Amino acid sequence: MAAPTKGNTTNSSATPGASSKNYTHTQNTGDDGLIVVQLSMTNNRNFTGATYGGEAMTQLYQINRGGLGQKMAFYYLENPPTGSNTLTLSFSASVWNGVSVHIRSFTDSGGVGASQRTGGQPSPHSGNITVEEDSLIMTTSCCVNVILTQQIPTGTNRTFTTHNVNRQVATGAISANAGHSAGTINVRATSASGNLTLDRTEIKGLSSSVDTSGGDFFAMF
């Protein structure tokens, strides 16, 4: 196994002002590509679809965080077109508030794996996720107040982007490049005060099914 290779990122908190919005993102060149999108906006609208380079993306989840008045979602696309392409988000109606958008590319990825989500809890908010060998973990949190940390695993602070879109949203935090050992990993989010959510998603490493060590290879049919 090998951990996925992290690629380009794009962030936005712009207000669409319509029932769809386009974003430009560049997918890195390389085998076994993956592009993911972490999303959050006020909960009076729904995310109804996403495309990248004209290809439909798969929705992993969409959750109404009613206590925080926020809608959270995650989309992904395996083997997306490389280079600069348009990512289009669609909404159930025109959106007049900012939308938190974090787009990230990978290569050498085995795709999206496990996903766990917990609603508003007091800080510090911890949660587990069980992952495969060499996987990475991405997190998203929202809170009415300032989000201080995203820890992957607990005790290890990771860099994240903050968007103020109705609520404070921490997005884009991801594990260190080496990935995790297989098993259950505890992650944590902290805030200055108030309840906050914690969504965590596994980005799987690439299985190695071919011995490339240079030894002789024999096949029997």
pTM value? 0.92
User: For residue 207, is pLDDT > 50?
Assistant: yes
Cα–Cα distances in Å, from 37 out to 2, 110, 132, 212? 22, 17, 21, 34
CB under 8 Å to 175, separation ≥6 — which residues?
A: 135, 136, 137, 138, 152, 158
pLDDT value, residue 216: 41
pLDDT value, residue 212: 38
User: For residue 143, is pLDDT > 60?
Assistant: yes
Which sequence spans correspond to the domains of the chain?
5-204
Average pLDDT, the chain: 92
Per-residue pLDDT reduced to its tens digit, 97-110:
999 999 999 999 99
Within 10 angstroms of residue 154's Cβ, the number of other Cβ atoms is: 15
Per-residue pLDDT reduced to its tens digit, 70-86:
999 999 999 999 999 99
pLDDT value, residue 67: 84
Helix (H, G, I), strand (E, B) or coil at 21: strand
pLDDT value, residue 208: 40
Across residues 130-158, what is the average pLDDT? 96
Of 16-30, 67-81, 200-214, the one with minimum mean pLDDT is 200-214
pLDDT value, residue 218: 34
CA 93 from centroid of its chain's CA atoms? 24
Q: How far apart are CA 192 and CA 196, in angstroms?
A: 10
User: For residue 209, is pLDDT > 70?
Assistant: no
pLDDT value, residue 215: 42
